[in-house]
Amino acid sequence: MYAESLRKQARNLGTVAVALVQVPFGRPGATSSQPTYDLGHAVARLAVVTDRIATAQPEPDGEREPLRSASLGEHVDQLLADEGKFVDAYSIFLFGSQVLHSFARVEVPRRGSGLRPDWASLVKLLDRFPGDPMTSSIRYLNVALVLARDVLAEHYVPGHYPTASYSDASSIRLGRVTPPSDGGEPHLAADTLLRQALGLAPDSNVDPFLDYIHLSEEAVERSRGMNFEQAGLVRKAFQMAGYHETAPVPWILDALLAVLREHAKARGIAVD
């Protein structure tokens, strides 16, 4: 479904990576050669993973027949093949986060803010400049990529149940949420946080679990307009009740490429 987009994005990421790695020492606009070099290699690793997903074999049409009479070896092969798709998808979030943290190490000093060169500082810095070409994409990546990696991988909760879906390896959308409970928690508290982040009034007539699922998707979609404080409420909610479903990987990579190109443009680095 998304294979063609991913293949093109892998190539574009590779082009950006080469441009960053080749930035000579002392080039005008360079804050430091080593952080730029590290950023280039982080982008290259993301390009490799993206290309792997884009070139993965598509699923055959129709439902796969269960291996009732299959040998143990065939069961093992199928299980590993299925999980391999998710390993690659998780890698997008792991290596994508590496890119963003490496990017902050270069971008924050470039802006001469005096802030600590980390991701949180960059998001808060751009809150001061809502019209900056990077701001909406950085805000989106803060929720769609960094927060997804935090909840789904770094702070993996075994008790959450998977909500991942895919039609082929290139269209995987990851997710894990807390199961619903009779008392409504933790979804009631998490739903309240999402409503605050989205500027919605409380609604005691909704099912807290179903409303949480709906609003969690809306929070990702509307994250381009969220400042650091609003995104913090989403973070608390997702850490509490789970990240229902990630945005399509091509959308995330589009935002990331836009940020990298804007950075390169500001430094006079040709990436196209």
Contact 115, 109 (CB under 8 A): no
In angstroms, how far is the first alpha carbon of the chain from the final one? 26
pLDDT digits (tens, 9 = 90+) for 225-234: 999 999 999 9
The pLDDT of residue 103 = 97
For the cut 90, the answer to whether the pLDDT of residue 120 exceeds it is yes
Say what the pLDDT of residue 229 is.
97
Q: Say what the pLDDT of residue 67 is.
A: 52
Query: Of 225 and 172, which is predicted with more confidence?
Result: 225
* Average per-residue pLDDT for the chain: 87
Give the C-alpha separation, 74 to 33, whole Å: 50
Rounded Cα distance, 244 and 251, in Å: 17
Model confidence band, residue 3 (pLDDT cutoffs 50, 70, 90): confident
More confident residue, 238 or 182: 238
Non-local CB neighbours of 146 within 8 Å, separated by 6+ positions: 97, 100, 119
Q: For residue 9, what pLDDT is reported? A: 96
- Give the mean model confidence (pLDDT) for residues 129-143: 97
Longest CA–CA span in the chain (Å) reads 66
Which of 2-16, 83-97, 165-179, 230-244 is least confident? 165-179
Predicted local distance difference test score (pLDDT) of residue 24: 61
Confidence of residue 190 (pLDDT cuts 50, 70, 90): very high
Residues facing residue 243 across a β-bridge? 176
**pTM for the structure as a whole:** 0.88
Q: Are 121 and 101 in contact (CB under 8 A)?
A: no
Query: Does residue 174 carry a pLDDT above 90?
Result: no
The yes-or-no verdict on residue 15 having pLDDT over 70 is yes
- Angle ∠(57,61,63) on CA atoms, nearest 5: 110
Contact yes or no for 62/69 (Cβ under 8 A): no
Residues 31-61: pLDDT tens digits?
457 899 999 999 999 999 999 988 875 554 4
pLDDT at 63: 46
**Percent of residues, the chain, with pLDDT higher than 70:** 89
**For residue 27, what pLDDT is reported?**
56
pLDDT score for 60: 47
For every residue of the chain, which 3-state class applies, written as one string? CCHHHHHHHHHHHHHHHHHHHCCCCCCCCCCCHHHHHHHHHHHHHHHHHHHHHHCCCCCCCCCCCCCCCCCHHHHHHHHHHHHHHHHHHHHHHHHHHHHHHHHHHHHHHHCCCCCCCCHHHHHHHHHCCCCCCCHHHHHHHHHHHHHHHHHHHHCCCCCCEECCECCCHHHCECCEECCCCCCCCCHHHHHHHHHHHHCCCCCCCCCHHHHHHHHHHHHHHCHHHCCHHHHHHHHHHHHHHEECCCCCHHHHHHHHHHHHHHHHHHHCCCCC
